[in-house]
Amino acid sequence: MAEITLTNDNFQAEVLESDIPVLVDFWATWCGPCKMVGPIVAEIADEYEGKVKVGKVNVDEEQLLAMQYQVTAIPTLFVFKNGQVDGKIVGFASKEEIVKLF
């Protein structure tokens, strides 16, 4: 399963009600560091399939979600466990740093 496009409509079901950890990447098309972290997030989605769900939130299209989670800089990566934020990285991060959040 590849990355899921997260929206205000599916966030509750896909993230908050997920029975496995969810890595959520808040990003935008114009963001340079987002373009660098994107392939790493995609790699994690493939490698951890079935263990971790991976979703992406385009902050330009989903401003309510960005405001709700107080995303002021992108990329911002959250790990949700049992419907709660369990970890957060702001800015570019290596695969090792991201995987440590699980």
Q: Answer yes or no: 49 catalytic.
A: no
Annotated catalytic residue within 31, 42, 90, 101 = 31
Q: Which two tokens stand for residue 97?
A: 């740093």
Cα torsion at 99, 62, 15, 96 (round to 10°)? 0
| Residue of 6, 34, 74, 89 with catalytic role | 34
Would you say 44 and 25 are in contact if contact means Cβ atoms under 8 Å apart? Answer: no
> Is position 70 annotated as part of the catalytic site?
no
| CB crowding 22-49: b at 16 or more within 10 Å, else e | bbbbbbeeebeebeebbebbeebbeebe
Question: Which residues are tagged catalytic?
Answer: 31, 34
